[in-house]
Chain A
Amino acid sequence: MGMVYKPIDPEKEGIEDLEILSEKLLSKPSPGSAGKTGTWRLYKPRILVDRCIKCGICWLYCPEDTIAWFYRGLPSINYDYCKGCGICANVCPVNAIEMILEGE
């Protein structure tokens, strides 16, 4: 159906439009709008707990925010959404993250 517009009540229509606008223009974060993206993974990062110096660099670099880390604590990976890009393994200064083939 074709749409035409000629303002009848600019005040009212303006306020209505503003509500629709914020819905269309803004997107709020929510888990997994593309499903659990962890299933895309070919390689899986594994943290070698003995080597980890708890610096948090992996947490800082993870592009998907799937690594949780608290100051001076051990990081942990959310495998539901980790796509296995390997950036964390690459930036780890002590090689404490290894990438293993999924399913092994």
Chain B
Amino acid sequence: MARRVLMGNTAVAEAVRLAGVQVVTAYPITPQTVIVERIAEMVERGELKARYIRVESEHSALALVYGAAAGGARAFTATSSHGLLYMYEMLWWVAGSRLPIVMTVVTRSIGPPWGLHSDHHDALTVRDIGWIIGFASSVQEAFDMTLQAFKISEDRRVMLPAMVALEGFTLSHTAESVEMPDEKSVSEWLPPREPLPFKIEPGKAFAVGNTGPDEVTMELKWLAWRAMERSRFVIRETDLEYAKRFGLRSYGGLVEDVYAKGSDYVVVAMGAWCGDLKEAVEKLRGEGYRVGLLRIRYFRPFPWEELREVSQSAKAVLVIDRAVSIGHRGILGLEVSSAIGDRVPVKNVIAGIGGVDTGPEDFYSIVKTFIEEYESGSIEGWSIPEWYMPWMGVVSK
């Protein structure tokens, strides 16, 4: 075990090195670029024995790791924002072909206007495809989640690609102390990839995803659905096993519970800003409010069971969203409401779009307003989401 001070991007590159990835494709885009730059240096210095391929677009970046994984290799790529959107077609082919690829998405807003800072719109476009989607909230977690992504994705029970989202700049370019297991113990835990569910090689003639009956299209979706349901077990198991094996902490599987169970008020959010949100929750608890945070670690598979359990004893739930489905609600808000039904009132607040800074004081005011609204019985407004934009001069109703 080594302790180092690393930026989020560098920590991801270190996890890729320790995983012994064999093929890496690279197309630069801020704020992801540092990941592939660091990997290029590792390959150059001989620390990572991988084929490092520079491609002409993100579409090709994913197409190429798709081919590499189909050939049995452990493959990795990374992107952000518009780069991810340019990959969109291939995202479906990778998931539909059930190839275990790991990709980092350093979240960044989507234009217009061109922006560099983080929200969750880019990562959440992957919602319906069949990728496992994790959201890290610290540099340590970005490292752990990336390493675990290989294990989960390649598991025989799963065989689905995995995406690890980490917040642009607030994680990608922020240095924190990270504990890293050594190369030998990682390679014992994560042996070379088993070439499943198929391997393209000379002498074997077959086509992948050839034209087929409509029923096969539906059956393949059904099989991916089944695999995603099984991945819940594998994610929880891997979280525990990793913690035990390397003497690190377990995060709690699909969610992290910060006083949420048994609290009257439950706040649901995901991503790096949960650090600031925790601070606000701590402060409110200090003032006597029975409030807790349920941090979503995995958006797919969605932790609906965990949410239901926590909401059993809650009076009200607040979802703070960093992405919105224009025409309905915040995306996480929609997901949470569909998971817990209408047994508990849910308030949805949209904040931090385009990277708008949302700090502990903001969260304190958002959460306190939510509790006060509930306690004074004025929750009619909750049927529509609330946009938190204090600079517009409207902080509360």
Contacts and interface: CB of A to CB of B under 8 A. Distances in A.
A53 B207 CA distance: 34
Contacts of B209: 25
A25 B205 contact: no
A18 interface: yes
B338 interface: no
Interface string B223-242: 10111011011100000000
A35 interface: no
B61 interface: no
A25 B98 contact: yes
A28 interface: yes
B5 interface: no
Contact of A26 (B206, B222, B225): B206
B378 interface: no
B84 interface: no
B118 to A, nearest CB: 34
Contacts of B59: none
B229 A27 contact: no
Contacts of A1: none
Interface stretch (A5-13, A43-51, A94-102): A5-13
Interface in A1-36: 3, 5-7, 10-11, 13-15, 17-18, 20-22, 24-29
Given A24-B219, A24-B220, A14 B157 contact: yes
A21 B223 contact: yes
Contact of A10 (B210, B212, B222, B233): B233
A3 B234 CA distance: 23
Q: Residue among B223, B232, B233 with the most chain A CB within 10 A?
A: B223
B212 A27 contact: yes
Contacts of A13: 157, 226, 230
B208 interface: yes
Contact of A25 (B157, B220, B222, B230): B220
Given A11-B157, A14-B230, A21 B210 contact: no
Given A3-B222, A17-B226, A17-B227, A25 B234 contact: no
A18 B229 contact: no
A10 B208 contact: no
Nearest to A3: B222
A28 to B, nearest CB: 5
Which has the most chain A C-beta neighbours within 10 Å: B98, B159, B223, B226? B226
A25 B229 contact: no
Given A10-B157, A11-B157, A13-B230, A18 B210 contact: no
B159 A18 contact: yes
Nearest to B155: A14
Contacts of B97: 25
A13 B225 CA distance: 13
A22 B198 contact: yes
A15 B230 contact: no
B158 interface: yes
A25 B99 CA distance: 11
A10 B209 CA distance: 25
A14 B227 contact: yes
B229 A24 contact: no
15 contacts: A5-B225, A5-B226, A7-B230, A7-B233, A10-B233, A11-B157, A14-B157, A14-B227, A21-B98, A21-B220, A25-B198, A26-B206, A26-B208, A28-B205, A29-B205
Give 4 closest A-B pairs by Cβ, nearest first.
A14-B157, A27-B210, A10-B230, A26-B206
Interface of B: 97-98, 155-159, 196-198, 205-210, 212, 216, 219-220, 222-223, 225-227, 229-230, 232-234
